[in-house]
Amino acid sequence: MRSRIAVLASGGGSNLQAIIEHFERLGERRGGEIVFVASDRTTAGALERAARHNIPFGALATPARPDRLSLDEVIDRHRVDLIVLAGYLRLVPAPIVARFQGRIINVHPALLPSFGGTGMYGQRVHRAVIESGVRVTGVTAHFVDDEYDRGRIIAQWPVPVFGTDDVETLGARVLRVEHLVYPRVVDAVASGRTTLANCATGPSNAIVDVRPSFTLLPHEDSRLAENIDLALGC
């Protein structure tokens, strides 16, 4: 049985696009189906992408617009069993986090637990990374719990920081890796191969690969994708 996925996104939705395309590539082998795309912003590019792919979509209620759809309504109407956050800037309400334990995932553009937490999103993350002087940043996919960016880590992939980087160049390098890592994690969780329980058994399910030839040197997307697949056991 495929998981019924709701993707929540506040921005452009390039991660949503990467998930859609990965599922298209997997075809019948995909572990989930995106049944709804929701955003707190009516202008979010993610909604346009959903429309282009004939995926039902809608705007979520906010304190300023309580008349819109609530997340509870989205979940019930579309029989959602997995919530995928892809650049979603609001907190998921605590009762839903409690009800969806192990069934909400997020991607963060740094190696958590560093450079995460309240206020750490978008370019702010990459600016903090550059200012700190670290030479390696990366991508983290994790389960969501009631603390910002603190849920159990599913997968991480490192990305080098160069001395010449600014937030744009670094952000673009990290985003490219997000597009490779996150769709595979979404599929692994949607299909049941990765669960909160089997991630809890130890670090063996997390991808922490620091082999230089895979990560710190220029690489082809297809090669990197192959290695992520291997590490995730797909």
Return the SS3 of 139: strand
Write out the DSSP string of 144-189.
Answer: --SSTT-SPEEEEEEEE--TT--HHHHHHHHHHHHHHHHHHHHHHH
CB of 207 to ligand GRF, least distance (A): 16
Q: Is 219 a known active-site residue?
A: no
Q: Of 180-219, which residues contact ligand GRF (CB under 6 A)?
A: none
CB of 89 to ligand GRF, least distance (A): 8
Q: Sort strands 136-143 and 3-8 into parallel, antiparallel or unpaired.
A: unpaired
Q: Does 86 bind ligand GRF (CB under 6 A)?
A: yes
CB of 75 to ligand GRF, least distance (A): 21
- Apex 54 CA angle, 48 and 58, nearest 5: 55
Alpha helices in 82-149 (DSSP H): 94-99, 123-132
Q: Of 23-82, which residues contact ligand GRF (CB under 6 A)?
A: none
Cβ 69 vs Cβ 59: under 8 Å? yes
CB of 1 to ligand GRF, least distance (A): 27
Q: What is the DSSP-derived secondary structure letter of residue 87?
A: S
Q: Of 100-119, which residues contact ligand GRF (CB under 6 A)?
A: 107-109
Q: How many CA atoms lie within 13 A of 41 on its CB side?
A: 14
Among 7, 8, 11, 183, binds ligand GRF (CB under 6 A): 11
Q: Which among 22, 108, 126, 142 is annotated as catalytic?
A: 108
Cβ 85 vs Cβ 117: under 8 Å? no
Which string of x and - marks every residue 147-176 that binds ligand GRF (by CB under 6 A)? ----------------------------x-
Q: Does 130 bind ligand GRF (CB under 6 A)?
A: no
Nearer to ligand GRF by Cβ, of 12 and 56: the residue is 12
Instruction: Determine the interface stretch with ligand GRF among 13-21, 34-42, 191-199, 218-226 (rule: CB under 6 A).
Output: 13-21
Q: Does 12 bind ligand GRF (CB under 6 A)?
A: yes
What is the phi/psi pair of residue 159, to 5°?
A: -135, 130
Among 19, 34, 82, 87, binds ligand GRF (CB under 6 A): 87
| Closest by Cα among 162, 166, 158, 167 to 139 | 158
Residue with nearest beta carbon to ligand GRF: 87
- Binding residues for ligand GRF, rule: CB under 6 A, are 9, 11-15, 86-87, 107-109, 122, 175, 178
Q: Which residues are catalytic?
A: 108
